């Protein structure tokens, strides 16, 4: 095992593992099965040699040896082994010892994943596990039934008709059960069983209005009775939310879901933010440690709450809108994953009626956001402005703000579209060129802003000087022809600007030479940065 951990070949040890497994003693078998699970996988041809040994151990009189064989089979079972050993595992689902029944249920999950057609053979045995008193067997039985529903329509229909009432009763009894020290976690009676039963209801209620209606009361009871001050409680609440969102529509429950998610988002307690992660990690360890399989850890509570709210928008957008302020705060969260997911959610919340207010919030945050987040934020703002712009003046104003704060993150197609809008808004030419002139003086390092500004100055430079087309919302500015040329020359001489910007500056100077007669000679003599000190002419 140590050699294997170092990365060296260990094929020479595989046969030794098989010899240990075939030995009569428990200790030898234990070491042999441990080596088998670590050194081999289902792709190894030598695994065919161990099938007979596992079959014999599954029928052994010593229940601990039976447990070893079940653990190994659950780890390395191939499709061929699943077909050969399924009858033995089915028989062990009714074994007298609850620990063996639990291991057999977990082993069955592996079997039906490898050979889904075998799921029909386990329907009655799996349904019987839901009537157990032992919580360990109940948890694994609920998981087995959940997985069987996903691979077999026959199993799905059977559990929906025969087991739904029993699962609901189990969950109700569990929610109302008194303190039980052997199952207590942070004052909650077996939250792991809560979660498994909720996931089974999640599957049974999908696409069936009658089944969904039957479980509404118990879901409402769990959601209302569970507090939000402990890790285990929040894990239960999240699974309850996921179940309600997956079953058939119920307006009252959906409203309850959005309020629960709003509590997750509005909490400032770091423990609450991380509690779903901790609970899910604990759950994954509990159910997969003995099989040594990898597991996926969920992200913090805010992230999963935001994910669920994104699903809720399509069902009840108005309910989600009530938590808009909280979601906007998530855009400013230090965690990059939460920021990105919150930004996607904000984008889905935008309508014509709230586009201005949400855009203002996002633009204000753009000023102080981290550089690595400005790209995503800028793209969303530009998309919102383009899609929901009520008027051209507002569109131009917002785009100028974005260009001033994060012009270097704006894509080419965005500022190209802005130039088209400016061109078509003849009554705003004067206002736009003056606004761009003032913006470039403050944010000359934003290259895209410089491009749009010099283009407008080249096209409408005379309106800048004469204050033509002055709007009621602006004050006149005093700009001379020489100052305008100074701005373009300063831009063209900046070492950081690329050839596209330099070319646009040259074209602007060319146009200004005909519009500004007093500066024509000066423009003609302007040094071209790419011609080693020679005049641009």
pLDDT tens per residue across span 3-60:
888 988 888 888 888 899 999 999 999 999 998 888 877 677 777 788 899 999 999 9
Question: What is the per-residue pLDDT for 389?
Answer: 87
Cα-Cα-Cα-Cα torsion 306, 311, 317, 320, nearest 10 degrees, comes to -20
Tally the C-alpha atoms within 13 A of residue 310's C-alpha that lie toward its C-beta.
16
Classified as helix, coil or strand, 243 is helix
Residues 235 and 300 in one domain: yes
CA angle 223, 226, 232 (to 5 degrees): 115
Residues 201 and 267 in one domain: yes
Distance CA 361, CA 356 (A): 9
CA angle 295, 298, 299 (to 5 degrees): 145
Give how many domains the chain has, as a whole number: 2
Residues 6+ apart with CB under 8 A from 226: 233, 236, 237, 240
Residues 169 and 299 in one domain: yes
Burial of 268 (0-12, 13-18, 19+ CB in 10 A): exposed
Tell me if 303 sits within 8 A of 341, measured CB to CB.
yes
Q: DSSP class of residue 94?
A: T
Residues 5 and 98 in one domain: yes
Distance CA 480, CA 35 (A): 85
| Buried-state track 285-300, b at ≥16 Cβ within 10 A, e below 16 | eebeebbeeeeeebbb
Question: What is the per-residue pLDDT for 305?
Answer: 53
223 occurs within a structural domain: yes
Residue at which a domain ends, from 264, 286, 315: 315
95 occurs within a structural domain: yes
Residues 50 and 5 in one domain: yes
CA distances from 390 to 7, 353, 397 (A): 63, 10, 12
Residues 106 and 183 in one domain: no
| Mean pLDDT, rounded, of the chain | 81
CA distances from 332 to 266, 270, 276, 294 (A): 13, 15, 21, 33
99 occurs within a structural domain: yes
CA proximity to 536, closest of 492, 499, 483: 492
Residues 6+ apart with CB under 8 A from 279: 191, 231, 232, 234, 235
Q: What is the CATH number of the domain that holds 287?
A: 1.25.10.10
Question: What is the per-residue pLDDT for 449?
Answer: 92
125 occurs within a structural domain: yes
Distance CA 244, CA 258 (A): 11
Cα-Cα-Cα-Cα torsion 510, 516, 518, 519, nearest 10 degrees, comes to -30
Question: What is the per-residue pLDDT for 320?
Answer: 56
Residue at which a domain ends, from 315, 344, 365: 315
pLDDT tens per residue across span 456-507:
999 998 898 888 888 888 888 888 888 888 888 888 887 556 788 888 988 9
Q: DSSP class of residue 206?
A: T
Residues 248 and 142 in one domain: no
Residues 267 and 294 in one domain: yes
Distance CA 527, CA 537 (A): 9
Confidence band for 322, pLDDT divided at 50, 70 and 90: low
Distance CA 128, CA 93 (A): 9
pLDDT tens per residue across span 251-264:
677 777 767 766 66
Classified as helix, coil or strand, 227 is coil
376 has a pLDDT exceeding 50: yes
5 occurs within a structural domain: yes
Distance CA 536, CA 143 (A): 76
Question: Can you name the residues that pair with 527 across neighbouring β-strands?
Answer: 535
Q: What are phi and psi of 189, to 5 degrees?
A: -75, 110
pLDDT tens per residue across span 388-423:
888 999 999 999 999 998 888 888 999 999 999 999
Positive or negative torsion for Cα 40, 44, 45, 50: positive
Q: What are phi and psi of 444, to 5 degrees?
A: -70, -10
Residues 192 and 304 in one domain: yes
What's the pTM? Answer: 0.60
308 has a pLDDT exceeding 60: no
Q: DSSP class of residue 185?
A: E
Question: What is the per-residue pLDDT for 275?
Answer: 39
Residues 9 and 88 in one domain: yes
Classified as helix, coil or strand, 535 is strand
11 occurs within a structural domain: yes
Q: What is the 3-state secondary structure (H, E, C) of 446-485?
A: CHHHHHHHHHHHHHHHHHHHHCCCCCCCCCCCCCCHHHHH
Question: What is the per-residue pLDDT for 295?
Answer: 27
416 occurs within a structural domain: no
Residue at which a domain ends, from 298, 315, 332: 315
Q: What are phi and psi of 476, to 5 degrees?
A: -65, 150
485 occurs within a structural domain: no
Domain span at residue 33? 1-146
Distance CA 289, CA 294 (A): 9
Size (the chain), residues: 537
Classified as helix, coil or strand, 147 is helix
Residues 169 and 238 in one domain: yes
Confidence band for 368, pLDDT divided at 50, 70 and 90: confident
Return the higher-pLDDT residue of 175 and 92. 92
Residues 182 and 227 in one domain: yes
């Amino acid at each position: 095992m140590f050699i294997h951990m170092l990365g060296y070949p260990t094929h020479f040890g595989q046969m030794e593992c098989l010899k240990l497994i075939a030995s009569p003693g428990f200790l030898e078998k234990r070491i042999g099965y441990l080596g088998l699970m670590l050194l081999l996988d289902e792709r190894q041809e030598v695994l065919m040699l161990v099938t007979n040994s596992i079959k014999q151990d599954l029928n052994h009189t010593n229940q601990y040896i039976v447990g070893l064989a079940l653990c190994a089979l659950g780890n390395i079972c191939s499709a061929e082994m699943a077909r050969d050993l399924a009858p033995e595992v089915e028989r062990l689902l009714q074994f007298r010892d609850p620990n063996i029944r639990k291991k057999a249920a977990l082993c069955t999950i592996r079997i039906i994943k490898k050979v889904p057609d075998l799921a029909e053979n386990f329907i009655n045995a799996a349904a019987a596990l839901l009537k157990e008193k032992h919580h360990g067997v109940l948890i694994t039985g609920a998981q087995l039934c959940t997985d069987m529903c996903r691979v077999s329509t026959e199993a799905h229909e059977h559990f929906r008709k025969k087991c739904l009432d029993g699962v609901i009763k189990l969950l109700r009894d569990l929610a109302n059960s008194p303190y039980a020290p052997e199952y207590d976690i942070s004052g909650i009676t077996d939250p792991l069983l809560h979660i498994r039963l909720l996931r089974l209801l999640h599957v049974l209620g999908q696409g069936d209005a009658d089944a969904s209606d039957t479980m509404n009361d118990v879901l409402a009871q769990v959601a209302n009775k569970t507090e939000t001050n402990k890790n285990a409680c929040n894990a239960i609440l999240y699974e309850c939310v996921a179940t309600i969102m997956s079953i058939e529509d119920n307006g009252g429950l959906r409203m309850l879901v959005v309020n629960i998610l709003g509590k997750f988002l509005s909490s400032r307690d770091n423990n609450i933010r991380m509690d779903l992660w901790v609970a899910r990690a604990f759950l994954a360890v509990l159910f997969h440690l003995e099989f040594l399989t990898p597991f996926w850890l969920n992200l913090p509570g805010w992230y999963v709450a935001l994910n669920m709210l994104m699903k809720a928008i399509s069902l009840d957008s108005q309910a989600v809108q009530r938590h808009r302020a909280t979601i906007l705060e998530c855009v400013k969260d230090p965690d990059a994953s939460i920021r990105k997911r919150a930004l996607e959610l904000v984008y889905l919340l935008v309508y014509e009626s709230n586009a201005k207010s949400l855009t203002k919030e996002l633009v204000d945050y753009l000023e102080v956001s981290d550089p690595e987040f400005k790209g995503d934020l800028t793209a969303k703002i530009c998309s919102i402005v383009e899609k929901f712009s009520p008027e051209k003046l507002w569109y131009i104003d917002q785009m100028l703000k974005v260009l001033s704060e994060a012009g270097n993150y704006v894509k080419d197609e965005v500022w190209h579209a802005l130039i088209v809008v400016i061109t078509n808004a003849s009554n705003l030419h004067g206002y736009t060129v003056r606004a761009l002139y003032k913006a470039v003086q403050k944010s000359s390092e934003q290259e895209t802003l410089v491009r749009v500004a010099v283009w407008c100055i080249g096209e409408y430079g005379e309106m800048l000087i004469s204050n033509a087309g002055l709007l009621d919302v602006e004050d006149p500015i005093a700009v001379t022809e020489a100052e305008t040329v100074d701005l373009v020359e300063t831009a063209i001489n900046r070492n950081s600007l690329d050839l596209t910007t330099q070319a646009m500056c040259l074209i602007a100077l060319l146009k200004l030479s005909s519009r500004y007669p007093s500066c024509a000679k000066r423009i003609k003599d302007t040094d071209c940065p790419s011609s080693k000190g020679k005049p641009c002419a």
